[in-house]
Amino acid sequence: MNTKIAVLIIVFLVFLTAHVANAQQPGKVPILGIWRLVSFEREYQATGEREYPMGKTPTGYILFLPEGRMAVVITGEGRKAPTTDQDRAGLFNSLVAYTGVYRVDGDKWITAVDVSANPVWVGTEQVRTFQISGDRLQEMTAWFARPDGRMARAVLTYERVK
């Protein structure tokens, strides 16, 4: 009887060890890695209309590290070196940058923001829905009310960096 229990415990530990090892391999968690921004669109809920608030060719990267930290930096197209304080202030309108500890829950990642270009985000949780298709990652924000009252969301597409 004791031998059977010992064998069951050993089999359980082998399966548990294999599961933990698989969970820690970056290839087994599809969101892990470095992704290059391909597009940044704003979609309107009522019409499906899309526009490009960061221009047609924004640049940026999003990183998901196995240690549980993410970081993103996105800049709009056409940014130029500032020459005045007003120019420097204006550059913030074409910048998205934040980092924090993230967790994945189904088709969402949730980031506990601890550093951000927008101080309002610090201490908040930013929730993003995502889909991965091959080497493409699509990110969607929750719907939000624009100043004109229309409901919109951001739809970002990234390509895995190899």
Average pLDDT over residues 69-83: 97
The confidence score (pLDDT) of residue 17 equals: 36
Alpha helices in the chain (DSSP H): 2-24, 85-90
Cβ-based neighbour number of residue 2 at 10 Å: 6
The answer to whether residue 48 scores a pLDDT higher than 80 is: yes
The answer to whether residue 98 scores a pLDDT higher than 50 is: yes
Instruction: Tell me the pTM.
Output: 0.80
Average pLDDT over residues 18-43: 73
Structural class in CATH, domain 31-160 = mainly beta
Q: Please state, in angstroms and rounded to a whole number, the distance separating the CA atoms of residues 37 and 136.
A: 10
The confidence score (pLDDT) of residue 28 equals: 62
93, 104 contact by CB (below 8 A): no
